[in-house]
């Protein structure tokens, strides 16, 4: 099958992934309006009890420096801000993706893959906070979704992905994305970017997903690509190597461009990232 045709087939097949909930879509669209009020946002969120519970827990968590003072969604909206709500709504959605595993083999692939994405999201946000805090939540979203193409591949291929692509014996030293390209004609970056285009997500997210293995790019060239490339590496060093691939290179030059001057600074940063990851993971499993 021609590469372009096969890519389209996988994009169509991604319908196996749970669609963004109507409340989340409405929320994302509303947040794009410059005139939207906290009251309007709160009313949308309150239509989804699970999202309400998780957002209240997030607003009261140490992830954003709060200590149990917020009991109403409208107050949470004011404290967190629209960009944080947008990125968190997507995190809640990605958290549900592992429920699509059809068997234990798929779950063994999907669960660590999704944990890796969340760890990369936390790291990307914290990297942005070091040099350009205004880009923190956008970097979080890029980190969160950087491997969404691989999630789609696993969801469609199941055990076949492990047998034909992920198995180190099959790869003979090739990276996972190189093996994807050899077997399928495209890799998870291309599929992820194309899939996100069908969801009408912002262009910077598509670009960051497609280029996140380009470790030569520095923040001055493309901030989000650089942040996600480094965050991807750091997530593996936190222990989230998705059980599929070899650890990423340390990238000391790229780390230095985000103010992590030496290995001690990186180690300290990783401890902070892991602590934030644990807080956010606990928030995501909150129930209404």
pLDDT in tens, 157-215: 888 888 899 888 888 878 888 999 999 999 999 999 998 888 888 889 999 999 998 88
Of 125, 135, 142, residue with least CA distance to 193:
142
Percent of the chain with pLDDT over 90: 40
Considering the chain, what percentage of its residues have pLDDT values greater than 70?
91
Q: How far is CA 73 from CA 21, 45, 58, 68, 121, in A?
A: 19, 8, 11, 13, 24
Residues constituting the chain: 288
- Single out the residue of 209, 84, 60 nearest to residue 143, CA to CA: 209
- Judge whether 27 and 211 are in contact, CB under 8 Å: no
6 — pLDDT class (breaks 50, 70, 90): confident
User: pLDDT of 112-127, one tens digit each?
Assistant: 889 999 999 999 999 9
Which burial class, exposed, middle or buried, applies to 204 when counting CB atoms under 10 A from its CB (0-12, 13-18, 19+)? middle
- Contacts of 167 by beta carbon, 8 Å cutoff, 6+ apart: none
- Residue among 242, 270, 240 nearest 255 (CA): 270
48 pLDDT tier (thresholds 50, 70, 90):
confident
Beta-carbon contacts of 52 under 8 Å, excluding residues fewer than 6 positions away, are 45, 46, 73, 288
Q: What is the pLDDT of residues 205-249, one digit of tens each?
A: 999 999 998 888 889 889 999 999 999 999 999 988 765 555 566
Token pair for 166: 């992920």
CATH H superfamily, domain 3-284: Hypothetical protein af1432 (1.10.3210.10)
Give the pLDDT of residue 248: 64
List strand residue ranges (DSSP E) for the chain, in order.
none
> CA-CA distance, 232 to 135, in Å (whole number)?
17
């Amino acid at each position: 099958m021609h590469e372009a045709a096969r890519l389209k087939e996988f994009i169509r097949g991604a319908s196996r992934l749970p669609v963004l909930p109507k409340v989340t879509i409405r929320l994302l669209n509303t947040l794009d309006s410059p005139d939207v009020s906290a009251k309007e946002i709160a009313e949308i969120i309150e239509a989804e009890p699970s999202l309400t519970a998780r957002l209240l827990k997030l607003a009261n968590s140490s992830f954003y420096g709060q200590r149990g003072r917020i009991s109403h969604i409208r107050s949470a909206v004011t404290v967190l801000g629209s960009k944080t709500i947008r990125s968190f709504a997507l995190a809640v959605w990605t958290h549900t993706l592992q429920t699509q595993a059809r068997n234990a083999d798929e779950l063994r692939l999907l669960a660590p893959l999704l944990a890796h994405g969340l760890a990369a999201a936390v790291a990307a946000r914290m990297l942005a906070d070091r040099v350009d805090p205004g880009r923190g939540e956008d970097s979080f979203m890029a980190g969160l979704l950087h491997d969404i193409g691989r999630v789609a591949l696993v969801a469609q291929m199941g055990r076949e992905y492990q047998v034909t692509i992920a198995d180190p014996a099959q790869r003979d030293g090739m990276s996972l994305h190189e093996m994807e390209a050899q077997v399928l004609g495209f890799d998870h970056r291309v599929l992820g970017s194309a899939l996100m285009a069908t969801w009408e997500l912002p262009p910077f997210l598509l670009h960051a997903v497609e280029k996140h293995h380009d470790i030569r790019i520095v923040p001055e060239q493309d901030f989000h690509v650089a942040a996600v490339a480094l965050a991807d590496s750091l997530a593996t060093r936190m222990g989230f190597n998705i059980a599929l691939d070899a650890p990423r290179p340390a990238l000391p030059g790229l780390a230095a461009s985000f103010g992590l001057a030496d290995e001690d600074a990186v180690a300290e940063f990783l401890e902070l990232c892991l602590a934030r990851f644990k807080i956010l993971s606990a928030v995501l499993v909150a129930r209404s």
